[in-house]
């Protein structure tokens, strides 16, 4: 079996996206449109991808991973011209050529692999992937000869009323014998209203040279939909989300109101985890087994161990240990590492800090640039004052320390193991092990001060 090389057309301007970003760089389910197409080609068995770039070429080329390559189409003279440029990179090992558009993220690798197998077995010079949508309006129709082979493609605007009754359409995906494609490309002409070289014209050329053109019907027409505007981008994202959630559910993950949650393509979720409504699990996130995530929780690029509960919170580029509880309304910022059996409560913010096992930070607390030991208790309203206006300083709190409510820990400072801090203190110096740190003024009571100052609002009663 010869090698399969994929040519991906990604040179268009995508003006209907109304964007400064290249169309194929827009993302669906956390991956670029081009990334989805390249992944499908790889899953189909393609050993090499050649991406034709043009508009915003540098941005598009940056999406192409090592092992693939780009060719630059300076003048965009049509699909046939683009493939002709890519063909200059073919090698003697190139046996079959798959041509894809860079804006079709719904194509599955299994579909392309099946089409490639049928193409090889048929002996055809070219194979057109076709579909049968409910409404074929606007698509090119497949014309067949008496033997059932593809005789040509007629565009909707050029079709007769009888031809418009044909439901089978051209998807824009083609497979070629490399030798046949190389024979046909130099014969392309641009004698049309657009002055462009159309890849579809190679079919008639191949038929004229005595070759056969076959077809492969894509069972699900939805796979072949291209993205040309923001509405279609949202539709593609919705389809991909459904696939992703179904994949996780088949692996033992439960969703409440699954359509309300958004999951990036590379997210890993362990079995027996429950995803509650309104969650976003973004790129690079790993969730262990037996977790409860949500409702209304966003996790980005983080590793969540087994048995963790996170409610109504934001977790970004952090790690959370087993059986820890986070939220509601907590915020874990990048660089945070939370231990096992930890409690991160409501309106707690952790930034670039290490929190030891069995520590409790229950509510209304900020911990930044700190190392907090095991079995520590941080009371309500504790603030690690980590910024002096020039640099971020570090605070260290030892194992089994207790920090009372409304305490300020002015970094850099260290609270040793087993130390206690009295509520309302502002700590600026080290507190030794087993010591009690108190840093507040002594309470003074001035009897009858309100009346003497004239602040009594009761009228003297």
HSE-CB at 38 with a 13 A cutoff on CA atoms is 23
| Sole residue written with tokens 């990179």 | 89
CA distances from 265 to 27, 204, 247, 310 (A): 11, 40, 10, 21
Indicate which residue of 81, 296, 363, 390 is catalytic.
Answer: 363
Q: End-to-end CA distance of the chain: give it in Å, rounded.
A: 102
Question: What is the Cα gyration radius of the chain?
Answer: 32
**Exposure pattern of 300-327 as b/e (b: 16+ CB <10 Å)?**
bebbbbbbbbbbbbbbbbbbbbbbbbbb
Tell me, yes or no, if 390 is annotated catalytic: no
For residue 276, give the DSSP letter. -
| Distance in angstroms (rounded) separating the CA atoms of residues 180 and 183 | 5
Instruction: Encode 131-173 in three state secondary structure.
Output: ECCCCCCCCCEEEECCCCCEEEEECHHHCCHHHHCCCCEEEEE
Instruction: Using alpha carbons, select from 26, 27, 28 the residue that is nearest to residue 14.
Output: 26
* 188 three-state secondary structure: coil
| Distance in angstroms (rounded) separating the CA atoms of residues 262 and 239 | 11
Q: Please answer whether residues 248 and 269 qualify as being in contact, where contact means their C-beta atoms are separated by less than 8 angstroms.
A: yes
Which helix H or strand E contains 271, and what residues bound it?
none
Q: Please answer whether residues 156 and 141 qualify as being in contact, where contact means their C-beta atoms are separated by less than 8 angstroms.
A: yes
Instruction: Using alpha carbons, select from 448, 425, 445 the residue that is nearest to residue 435.
Output: 425
Contacts of 285-291 with CB under 8 Å at 24 or more apart are 288/322
440, two tokens: 């507040």
| Distance in angstroms (rounded) separating the CA atoms of residues 242 and 270 | 18
Q: β-strand 370-372 against 395-397: which pairing, if any?
A: parallel
CA distances from 416 to 34, 376, 426, 435 (A): 54, 11, 16, 8
Per the DSSP assignment, residues forming a β-bridge with 269 are 287
Q: Is 165 exposed, middle or buried (0-12, 13-18, 19+ CB in 10 A)?
A: exposed
Catalytic residues: 363
């Amino acid at each position: 079996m010869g090698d399969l090389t994929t040519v991906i057309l990604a040179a268009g301007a995508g003006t209907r996206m109304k964007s400064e970003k290249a169309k194929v760089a827009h993302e669906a389910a956390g991956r670029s449109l081009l990334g989805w197409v390249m992944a499908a080609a790889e899953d189909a068995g393609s050993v090499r991808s050649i991406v034709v770039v043009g508009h915003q070429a540098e941005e598009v080329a940056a999406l192409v991973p090592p092992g693939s390559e780009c060719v630059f189409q300076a003048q965009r003279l049509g699909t046939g011209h683009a493939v002709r440029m890519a063909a200059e990179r073919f090698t003697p090992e190139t046996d079959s050529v798959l041509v894809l558009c860079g804006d079709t993220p719904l194509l599955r690798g299994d579909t392309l692999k099946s089409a490639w197998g049928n193409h090889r077995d048929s002996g055809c010079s070219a194979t057109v992937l076709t579909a049968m949508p409910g409404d074929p309006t606007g698509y090119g129709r497949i014309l067949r000869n008496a033997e059932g082979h593809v005789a040509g493609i007629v565009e909707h605007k050029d079709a007769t009323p009888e031809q418009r009754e044909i439901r089978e359409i051209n998807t824009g995906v083609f497979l070629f014998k490399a030798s046949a494609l190389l024979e046909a490309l130099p014969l392309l002409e641009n004698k049309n209203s657009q002055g462009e070289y159309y890849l579809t014209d190679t079919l008639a050329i191949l038929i004229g040279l005595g070759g056969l053109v076959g077809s492969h019907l894509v069972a699900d027409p939805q796979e072949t939909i291209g993205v040309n505007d923001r509405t279609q981008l949202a539709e593609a994202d919705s389809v991909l989300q459904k696939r992703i959630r179904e994949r996780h559910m088949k692996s033992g993950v439960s969703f409440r109101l699954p359509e309300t949650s958004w999951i990036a393509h590379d997210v890993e979720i362990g079995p027996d985890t429950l995803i509650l409504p309104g969650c976003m699990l973004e790129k690079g996130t790993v969730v262990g087994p037996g977790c409860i995530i949500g409702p209304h929780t966003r996790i980005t690029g983080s590793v969540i161990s087994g048995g963790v509960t996170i409610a109504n919170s934001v977790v970004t580029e952090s790690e959370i240990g087993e059986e820890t509880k986070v939220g509601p309304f907590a915020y874990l910022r990048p660089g945070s590492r939370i231990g096992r059996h930890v409690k991160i409560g409501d309106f707690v913010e952790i930034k670039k800090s290490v929190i030891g096992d069995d520590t409790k930070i229950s509510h209304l607390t900020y911990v930044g640039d700190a190392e907090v030991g095991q079995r520590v208790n941080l009371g309500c309203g504790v603030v690690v004052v980590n910024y002096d206006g020039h640099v971020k300083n570090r605070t260290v709190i030892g194992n089994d320390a207790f920090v009372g409510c409304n305490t300020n820990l002015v970094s850099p400072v260290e609270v040793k193991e087993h130390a206690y801090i009295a509520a309302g203190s502002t700590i600026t110096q080290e507190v030794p092990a087993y010591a009690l740190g108190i840093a507040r003024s002594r309470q003074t009571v001035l009897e009858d001060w309100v009346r003497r100052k004239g602040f009594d609002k009761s009228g003297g009663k």
